Amino acid sequence: MNKILPVVLSGGSGTRLWPLSREKYPKQLLPLIGKQSMLQATVTRLDGLDGLAEPLLVCNEEHRFVVAEQMRLLGKQGRVLLEPVGRNTAPALTLAALWARKQGGDPVLVVMPADHVILDEALFREAVARAVALAEAGRAVTFGITPDCPETGYGYIQQGAALAGDSGAYELARFVEKPDRQTAQAYLDAGDFLWNSGIFVMRASTWLTALELCRPDILAACRASLERGCEDGDFVRADPAAFAQCPADSIDYAVMERLTGSTAGLPKSAVIPLAAGWSDVGAWDALWKVLPKSEDGNAWRGDVLLEGCRDTLAIAENRLVACIGLRNMVVVETNDAVLVAHHEATQDVKKVVDRLKGEGRAVAQWHRKVYRPWGWYDGVDSGERFQVKRIGVKPGAALSLQMHHHRAEHWIVVSGTARVTKDDEVFLVSENQSTYIPLGVKHRLENPGIVPLEMIEVQSGSYLGEDDIVRFEDTYGRR
């Protein structure tokens, strides 16, 4: 195994960036800045470093196929380690470290959240190279972001004495929680406080040694879940029952905060100050800050018309959005929701999502366009006893062999060619042709061609929920 293993943690839900980010398709999977998704940008951020291995991604079971597809588009061959349930970042890193050791090596892990932005990637790689040298000597290294304002939304790190040599690193004096405005200003004035980036560099063995002393319960649960798990192609599956017993904790709380003292047996730590245009893009105002802006401070994407606006972020996904006379505002339009918020209130978007969840509204978790391992579907229209969807199937992909108890389906091919299985009959349906799938009939839709298949599906029946599916065969192992 190469000496540097990027570990990308992709478990967040990004609720403060609703309605673009949804629980089932969160912000790290979206191209919020540039053409790449945030996950793809994170995966390629270290390209060019010597000794770099293919990345290891740790993600939610539900996102596995989208993550794998985004990796494929990058030409990356890394593994995807699946968490059956979310348990925060310490168990996620522990699974990664145990897997790395299981491969027979002890690589330096560069642990990066998948939903952060770093604008100066060259400077970041230089800092990582310095951190790797410290990690090879046994230190657990983190990066502290040089603050440019009294931010109250981040935790802080206080740097201690400078380490010997030219590493640009310091002893890690202490971690502090998110402060109020007055305290944050005092930290900024002091000059030795940094924002906590949540990015770490250390050997796999260093993390496991520290965890054995600090949180042996997490280590035991993760070890059991990996030993009882299995490998499925590029996916590494932790055992669900064993992992469910693992306590939830963050890397900071579980280990890093305890490395600031002189406890016997614990590894030494270090912090490297970093001024590379970092943001965790935790809310809409944070995204506005890192986007290119006009002279009036406006940032926009899509079909947007701004008249007399200042310091405003406007995003249009599907239609024209016209904004007049706005100051310090955020306007985000998707095909099923619109958000309008003041910059100072963007942290409260989570409250809206919580209310929507409490009301059982799917818009809190799902986009209208839903991605599947075989492609996607978009709910165009619905009413009493009917539903209309656009369906896209990737070349060579196939939906499961299935049956519905409560609905029939009409399929109209718009582009490409469909191979249709209907009970014992198999036939092709070309552009501008259609077929009918009666209620209770076993059926399957496939794309045998080399171009995407797009079709319209009209469902009719007494119940149209996605759970009215009886699967008999499935290429992707779904039940």
pLDDT digits (tens, 9 = 90+) for 245-297: 999 999 999 999 898 866 668 899 999 999 999 999 999 999 999 999 999 99
Q: Give the architecture-level CATH label for domain 4-279.
A: Alpha-Beta Complex (3.90)
- What is the pLDDT, as a whole number, of residue 62? 85
**How many C-beta atoms surround the C-beta of residue 266 within 10 A?**
18
- CB of 24 closer than 8 Å to CB of 366: yes
| Phi, psi (rounded to 5 degrees) for 171 | -60, 150
In whole angstroms, give the CA distance from residue 219 to residue 209: 10
- CB of 201 closer than 8 Å to CB of 94: no
In whole angstroms, give the CA distance from residue 21 to residue 11: 13
- What is the pLDDT, as a whole number, of residue 11? 86
> Do 4-279 and 369-473 agree at the fold level?
no
- What is the pLDDT, as a whole number, of residue 324? 98
User: Closest Cα to residue 6, out of 94, 107, 99, 86?
Assistant: 107
DSSP 39-85: HHHHHHTTTT-TTBPPPEEEEEGGGHHHHHHHHHHHT---EEEEESS
- What is the pLDDT, as a whole number, of residue 20? 96
Write the CA distances from 314 to 108, 322, 327, 364, 412, integer angstroms: 41, 9, 12, 20, 36
Tokens of 114: 């998948």
The full set of domain ranges for the chain reads: 4-279, 284-357, 369-473
- 369-473 to CATH, choices 3.90.420.10, 1.10.101.10, 2.60.120.10, 1.20.1090.10: 2.60.120.10
Amino acid at 66: V
In whole angstroms, give the CA distance from residue 392 to residue 389: 10
- What is the pLDDT, as a whole number, of residue 84? 92
- What is the pLDDT, as a whole number, of residue 454? 98
In whole angstroms, give the CA distance from residue 450 to residue 195: 49
Question: What residue ranges of the chain have pLDDT lower than 50?
Answer: 1
pLDDT digits (tens, 9 = 90+) for 42-73: 999 999 999 999 999 999 988 988 999 999 99
In whole angstroms, give the CA distance from residue 128 to residue 384: 57
DSSP 327-364: BSEEEEE-SS-EEEEEGGGGGGHHHHHHHHHHTT-GGG
Degrees, nearest 5: CA angle 433-471-81: 110
